[in-house]
Structure 1
Amino acid sequence: MSSVTLPIVDNELKVKAVTYKSKYAPLLIKEISIPVTPGSIVKQNELLVQVKATSLNPLDCLMKNFNKGWLGDRVLGCDFAGVVIKAGSNTVFKEGEEIYGSFMEVFQRGTFSEYILFDPSTSLVCEKIPNGMSFEDASSMPMVSCTAYQCFQFYKGDLKDKKVLILGAGSSVGSYAVQIAKHYFNVGTVIGTCSPRSSDKVFKLGADGFVDYTKGVTSKINELLKFVKINGKFDIIIDVVRDEIVIDYFDSLLKTYKENGVFVTVNGPYTDDFKNIGLIDVLPSFRRIKQYTKYALGLSNYKAETEIVHSSDTYGEVIAKLYEERGLNFSINSVRDIYSDFQEGYDLIEGGKIGGKVVFKW
């Protein structure tokens, strides 16, 4: 790594990054300054990474569209993949290692930058890239795959041969939930809700069946009830798209908490239109509050949990095992050049309903 010439002037790293000031301000590529530690560049707990690829999450659009401009220029993004240029002595990484990760802190710069300087111990994800995985693939998965994996942590017991329902199986989080359920936890039956255009993909990921949500609520519930009548109730229902109507049918669809049954909602908005999102779109529904309150007070037989992504000691091992043994479907919509296509790629995610991540090469 000694051959890399870093653009450092007066103990500040000068790099290009995708920035914004507020909801109403445009995205811009501009030069920013990252203060570095004199002499060593990094502190003992820090990494300096040359970013090779980044990807957009809906969360990135949410953070921009709820930004009032009080914090000044912000750097977009939280997912990344790249090469360690400098590693602090207290980190577990070495110079030259290829890593991927995700960090999300209000006062921290984002990942859409030529270089990023951060503390890996406070990151949501920071892992070595498995052998053979590209930077583009690695950058596409941290936030969504970690979220999917952690949904299963609410189930107490062995998931082998159990029955899982994934609401929104065609989404990025849902796609990883299907793969993790079937190929890591060896779930017996995985049923997913998705549109017909996503059904082939969902089957290839490992699902045993799908329910077409586009036919309407009545048709969807009837199909699920038909499945349960033949096969028995679900052990875990994972809702990644806030399809909370199933809460009204727990008695018919979900095993009780005494049988280890659990319903997990991925925290997020009720809309895919992130451009016009409002506060009401991210607040919990009355139906959800009612069910969660009943369970908390011991008045419901059904356990309901909310998944808010956080760091995990076992996540990296799970991803590496899946990739090395079976490969992974990375659910990528497109790979774009950051310098020419950053606005077009952002617009795709902000508009919703594109199916897959947008990845940018640096």
Structure 2
Amino acid sequence: MPEVVTCRSVTYINNKTAASLTQEEIDLDTCYEDNEIVIHVHAAAFNPVDLLSQGFMCSYLVSSRPKSYGRDYSGVIVRRGKNVDEKWQIGDKVNGAQAFLVGQSGSMSDYLVLNPSKQCSISHMKPINQDIQGKYDEFTFDAAWPLVFCTAFGILTNYGQKFGPDSRILVIGASTAVSNAFVQIAKNYMNVGTVVGVCSSKSVEYNKKLGFDYLATYDEGPLIESVAKVFLRDLQKEKFDLIFDSVGNNDFFPVLDKFLKPRSQNSYYITIVGDGKLKYGSFSAMGTFWMASRILNPFRSYNYKFGLFSPSERAMEIGNKLISEGKYKPAIDSVHPIEDFKEAIDRLSSSRAKGKVVLKINN
């Protein structure tokens, strides 16, 4: 007998419609191909890209079919195709991040169907070190980090830079979830000598505990002056190998040569946002123009990259390993049952979330 189940999903139609909880009946024995697995999702996490993607979905350009939220997930494999690699077996606990732009492939559903050879940001969950697990169950904990970890890992590994004890990195936006992963990878996996963070004065103590060696504040005077104090006092004017921006900032470009090593030394300015702070649900043509002009400008004196989520099974395996060793702890802001998805979206949209907003989908 076929096993027909109800699959709930958090979806939207376009940028003018509110999110809703929709459902459909699916047959677990026929809903996948020979190269796919079916995951019973226990938890999934929101990312800013979920709301940004919806913001691009103009009603006159997209279909009226429901579109799913969610990249991060954790759950249990309940079906596998006959051509799937033997390392993925029914009953395995897995977590990962979906690489998709828009459609019905989001992770905020009871069941997620994917090809693990193409959706490579997937790994077997490892036992969580008890010193860092805190109050969260393993599925909630492991849904909170795949996308931000893979993004941060890609920033540190995809551009040919070799980091070590003599390296210096500046992180603009130390309190974001991506920067949270970034500093822990840099300090606890790559052994980077000095990581300087920029944050509010209220977040200094919090970010010190994550591993930042020095913190500069943006709300106690001009940002450049605050970083310059650290640069002169603590770094003895040794320039940065990498400036990583996770919030959207353009203050440094007029004086970049004073802080960033020469382009010939393979230094980089890498942003995952652009020149301005994210505005959920809206599109900034001017911000896109300035970012494009920096990327395409052949006369710029510095290496500039726009970093994106970098799917990687290796990154997932390293993340799970660091968690099992107690060397990486993702930031979780709040956890909501799937029925309270609107509260979760409101929390993410508020820009006050300190860490990932997680939906608990199944126990």
Query: What TM-score comes out, normalization by structure 1 length?
Result: 0.87
The answer for unaligned runs of 5 or more in structure 2 is: none
Q: Equivalents in 1 of 2:114, 2:196: separation in Å?
A: 39
Name the stretch that deviates more: 324-333 or 53-62. Answer: 324-333
Q: Is the 8 A contact 2:187 2:211 kept in 1?
A: yes
Q: Equivalents in 1 of 2:192, 2:349: separation in Å?
A: 33
Which amino acid letter does the alignment assign opposite residue 311 of structure 1? Answer: P
CA shift for structure 1 position 334: 0.8
CA shift for structure 1 position 127: 1.3
Partner of 1:249: 255
> Is 1:26 matched with 2:18?
yes
SS of 1:32's partner is: strand
1:53 to 28, 43, 54: 43
The answer for unaligned runs of 5 or more in structure 1 is: none
Between the aligned residues of both structures, percent identity stands at: 26
> Is 1:118 matched with 2:114?
yes
1:101 to 96, 105, 113: 96
Change (3 A) 1:89 1:14: same
Name the stretch that deviates more: 100-109 or 184-193. Answer: 100-109
The superposition leaves residues 244-270 of structure 1 with CA deviations (integer Å, 9 ceiling, x where unpaired) of: 222222211111132231211114683
1:135 to 134, 139, 154: 139
Partner of 2:168: 163
The superposition leaves residues 143-166 of structure 1 with CA deviations (integer Å, 9 ceiling, x where unpaired) of: 111111100124434311111111
CA shift for structure 1 position 293: 3.4
Q: Equivalents in 2 of 1:140, 1:47: separation in Å?
A: 21
Which amino acid letter does the alignment assign opposite residue 155 of structure 2? Answer: C
After TM superposition, the structure 1 = structure 2 runs for residues 217-236 of structure 1, keeping only pairs within 5 Å, are 217-227=223-233, 230-236=236-242
The superposition leaves residues 186-233 of structure 1 with CA deviations (integer Å, 9 ceiling, x where unpaired) of: 000110011122222211111101110123334335335435761500
Change (3 A) 1:331 1:6: farther
The superposition leaves residues 59-95 of structure 1 with CA deviations (integer Å, 9 ceiling, x where unpaired) of: 1111222223423211221211100001123333110
Which amino acid letter does the alignment assign opposite residue 237 of structure 1? Answer: I
Q: Equivalents in 2 of 1:224, 1:264: separation in Å?
A: 21
Q: Equivalents in 1 of 2:27, 2:74: separation in Å?
A: 21
CA shift for structure 1 position 34: 4.6
The superposition leaves residues 16-53 of structure 1 with CA deviations (integer Å, 9 ceiling, x where unpaired) of: 11122222222221212457664xx5322111110100
Q: Equivalents in 2 of 1:225, 1:206: separation in Å?
A: 18
Q: Is the 8 A contact 1:258 1:301 kept in 2?
A: no
Partner of 2:341: 342
Of structures 1 and 2, the one scoring higher in RCO (CA 8 A, sep 6+) is 2
Which amino acid letter does the alignment assign opposite residue 54 of structure 1? Answer: A
Which amino acid letter does the alignment assign opposite residue 95 of structure 1? Answer: I
Q: Equivalents in 2 of 1:304, 1:212: separation in Å?
A: 24
Change (3 A) 1:110 1:35: farther
Q: Equivalents in 2 of 1:300, 1:228: separation in Å?
A: 29
Partner of 2:71: 78
SS of 1:241's partner is: coil
Partner of 1:152: 156
Query: What TM-score comes out, normalization by structure 2 length?
Result: 0.87
1:190 to 187, 192, 195: 195
Q: Equivalents in 2 of 1:327, 1:43: separation in Å?
A: 37
Q: Is the 8 A contact 2:121 2:311 kept in 1?
A: yes
> Is 1:351 matched with 2:350?
yes
Q: Equivalents in 2 of 1:59, 1:266: separation in Å?
A: 11
Q: Is the 8 A contact 2:250 2:276 kept in 1?
A: no
Q: Is the 8 A contact 1:274 1:352 kept in 2?
A: no
Partner of 1:305: 305
Q: Is the 8 A contact 1:76 1:112 kept in 2?
A: yes
Which amino acid letter does the alignment assign opposite residue 174 of structure 2? Answer: A
Q: Is the 8 A contact 2:8 2:109 kept in 1?
A: yes
Partner of 1:180: 185
Q: Equivalents in 1 of 2:229, 2:116: separation in Å?
A: 45
Which amino acid letter does the alignment assign opposite residue 47 of structure 2? Answer: N
Q: Equivalents in 1 of 2:262, 2:303: separation in Å?
A: 7
> Is 1:333 matched with 2:317?
no
Change (3 A) 1:227 1:33: farther
Q: Equivalents in 2 of 1:154, 1:253: separation in Å?
A: 22
Change (3 A) 1:257 1:90: farther
